[in-house]
Amino acid sequence: MLETTRTYRAKIVNHQQVSDDLDDCGHSASKLWNVARYYTQGRWNDDGEIPDDGELKSELKEHERYSDLHSQSSQRVLEELAESFTSWYKARQRGDENANPPGYRKHGDEHPRSTVTWKQKGIKHDSKHNQIRLSKGFNLKNHRSDFILTEYETRPDVTVENIQQVRAVWNGNRWELHLVCKVEIPVEDAPGDNTAGIDLGIKNYLAIAYDDGDAELYPGNVLKQDKHYFTRNEYGTEGENGASKRALRARQKLSRRKNHFLHALAKHIVEQCIDHEVGRIAIGDLSEIREEDGKARNWGKRGNKKLHGWEFDRFTRLLEYKAEEHGILVDRKSERDTSKTCSCCGRKRDANRVERGLYVCESCGTTMNADMNGAVNIRRKITQNPPTGDMSNGRLARPVAYLFNQTSGSFHPREQVSCKP
């Protein structure tokens, strides 16, 4: 058995009753962050040193802002600040000129709603009624209560128990809870020593290349159809009072169907990897794309991925969870150059181009599905095998496309599609 944690997203059912209290906590977390940010700046100016979280905690625990939140929540804010300063300091030592220290959390007179974390002492979980009590800090307690009583809802297949941490996260529109739970999962031996590479994309949701030359595409066509169907006009558009009930329900349905797709896809990919005796999967590290915000143009057309970054990250985590249970390691690798390099001859040239989803190599003349080219290149990052040279004629040139059947919740191969023009 492997002891690990799972983070479940939960919707707050009684949002209207608790949002003011959560706002107070979120603003307080920003204020405390700024207090600690100011203190750190002073230490840095005085003697060129960065205080660690231990120093921040002992120096600031008497500060008025510290008592706005539960002590463990305040401690977490200070830990986060110390962590960001440490990673900035390390980057600076490496000579990274572009690294910036963490900033203040303030826009004009407004404090943003920071994520607030509660640890075990600040949490009371009533699993029978799907309720969680989150402790307030001394300063925010009032005549009504000294805790925030949230009612939550998770995906039906999730069992919430052994909560280690609750994070209240403002998603730009409303608060949601991230529940970090301790879980025990059985671990199997890896199915084999083979590798696979996965490219997540826009045209094909997923492309996977195995080292025996097998290649599969998952077009994700149902996602596009669903989006078209559930956001069409007759469901109403956003009016003066926000979205109509009908439009809201359609959007919820859309998001449920998407969830269903992502879970089924992750499960299916793990099953395919077991069949191919894969022990290790390479997948693009999409968090890197987000960090590169300022350099987005370097990604060219792949910059589109940024819009989907959050969702891809979510899929990758689902895949990690499911793969882990079968002893398969999911290895996040940088996607740098994977779209530009020819997986056949290994040459990277700006003249190589993508046309209608096909990758065309100026050097060796290879023409293959662009997403598959990316998948092969990403797989190469975890294996020694050199480019083989004959791939354009092999199975890679004719990947099998798998389509999702919404009713059965499973994927079925379509007829072989040729990727040669």
Binding residues for Zn ion, per CB under 5 A?
Answer: 342, 344-345, 361, 363-364, 366
What is the nearest approach in angstroms of Zn ion to the Cβ of residue 344?
5
What is the nearest approach in angstroms of Zn ion to the Cβ of residue 363?
5
Sign of the C-alpha dihedral computed for residues 413, 414, 416 and 418 taken in this order: negative
Tokens read off for 108: 């004009």
What is the nearest approach in angstroms of Zn ion to the Cβ of residue 221?
29
Kindly state the helix (H) or strand (E) to which residue 42 belongs, with its residue range. Answer: helix 15-47
Of residues 162 and 367, the one with the C-beta less far from Zn ion: 367
Of residues 46 and 350, the one with the C-beta less far from Zn ion: 350
177 φ, ψ (degrees, to nearest 5) = -110, 140
C-alpha distances out from residue 325 to 199, 213, 274, 279, 303, Å = 22, 25, 11, 12, 33
Q: How far apart are CA 328 and CA 406, in angstroms?
A: 27
Of residues 198 and 361, the one with the C-beta less far from Zn ion: 361
Cβ-contact 14, 177 below 8 angstroms: no
What is the nearest approach in angstroms of Zn ion to the Cβ of residue 364?
3
What is the nearest approach in angstroms of Zn ion to the Cβ of residue 340?
11
Q: What is the DSSP string of 257-308?
A: HHHHHHHHHHHHHHHHHHHTTEEEEEEE-HHHHHHTGGGGGGGGGGGGHHHH
Cβ-contact 154, 7 below 8 angstroms: no
What is the nearest approach in angstroms of Zn ion to the Cβ of residue 361?
3
Of residues 165 and 352, the one with the C-beta less far from Zn ion: 352
Of residues 350 and 415, the one with the C-beta less far from Zn ion: 350
Q: Which of 224, 243, 330 is nearest to 284 (CA)?
A: 330
Of residues 301 and 349, the one with the C-beta less far from Zn ion: 349
Of residues 217 and 361, the one with the C-beta less far from Zn ion: 361
**How distant is the alpha carbon of residue 199 from its chain centre?**
15
Q: How far apart are CA 238 and CA 400, in angstroms?
A: 40
What is the nearest approach in angstroms of Zn ion to the Cβ of residue 362?
8
What one-character DSSP code corresponds to residue 172?
Answer: S
Of residues 319 and 342, the one with the C-beta less far from Zn ion: 342
What is the nearest approach in angstroms of Zn ion to the Cβ of residue 398?
18
Q: How far apart are CA 354 and CA 369, in angstroms?
A: 9
